[in-house]
Amino acid sequence: MIHPQYQEAAWLRRLLIGISLLFLSLLLIVPLLAIFYQALAAGWQTFLSALQQTEALHAIKLTLIVAAISLPLNLFFGVIMAWLLSNFDFKGKQLITTLIDLPLSVSPVVAGLMFVLLFGINGLFGAWLDANDIEVIFALPGIVLATLFVTFPLVVKSLLPSMKTQGNSEEQAALTLGASVWQIFFRVTLPKIKWPLLYGAILANARAMGEFGAVSVVSGHIRNLTNTIPLHVEILYNEYQFTAAFACASLLALIAILTLLLQNLVAYLQKRKRKQPQAASDYMLSRLPVKSAV
């Protein structure tokens, strides 16, 4: 016989699960399905035709270019910042940590305005940029800068917990064996952080391709020049081209779904590899050159 206390807990658990599923369905699943329904309501031919328009193709191309530029920069600076904060104690460390959190708390629109104040024609560096015929605002560099601002913390935040937990004892052991800095990074540090690094890269890339607020401010909404997919969707919707708008929006929804699938795949693979972390570390250290005792 089941104890009444456990029966009450089971009833409460089912109620909470039901409420959660209902909330998620109304807030996430139903709107997501509505986007695909509206995109395909007029048929596949209309859907494909909307994606093959010149403005749509240019928006897709620009979005991919921005993601291709911002992702390597995010990985490079994200690893450097995470390595610095997890391995060194210095004055101003807390300030740097706070500044890394700043893009997560500042509105993307405000972030875009900051770059306009810096690089706009009337901004701090605007006169110098104009004199040297360098375009930042209403051009690709401004879009990349705004995207980097809003996506940079994602890589750092994914790496920091793992790097702090694992410590740097293996790096120190490799250093005593005579390994160079690059050997330590590629053979010891990188294998340890590859899963959180991949997780952060997936998040940063998805955010870069779907960013609207900051990019909207610095882009100028110039057709066939500075419109990414989110900006193109807004223009189509405002012009009452609903089928084309939902067709392009479905691409962003597919990116979101793919991101979730990749996140779960990375989490699954990381869970499997976590069973034998020491064996992998020993293998990496065994491949490092041994310093001569003479």
Q: In terms of residue numbers, what domain contains 182?
A: 43-270
Domain presence at residue 76: yes
CA distance 207 to 193: 21
Per the structure, the count of domains in the chain is 1
Domain presence at residue 34: no
Domain presence at residue 141: yes
Global confidence as pTM:
0.82
For 120, residues 6+ apart whose C-beta sits below 8 A from its C-beta are 126, 137
Domain presence at residue 280: no
Identify which of 135, 150, 145, 146 has the alpha carbon closest to the alpha carbon of residue 225. 135
Quick check: 11 pLDDT over 80?
Answer: no
pLDDT (mean) for 76-95? 87
Q: Tens digit of pLDDT for each residue in 254-274?
A: 888 888 888 788 777 777 766
Looking up residue 119, the CATH number of its domain turns out to be 1.10.3720.10
Q: Tens digit of pLDDT for each residue in 36-66?
A: 898 888 888 888 898 899 999 999 999 999 9
Domain presence at residue 27: no
Domain presence at residue 285: no
Domain presence at residue 289: no
| pLDDT band, very low/low/confident/very high, at 217 (cuts 50, 70, 90) | very high
Domain presence at residue 3: no
b/e burial code for range 116-153 (CB count within 10 A of at least 16 → b): bebbbeebeebeebeeeeeebbbbbbbbbbbbbbbbbb
Which pLDDT value is given to residue 279? 44
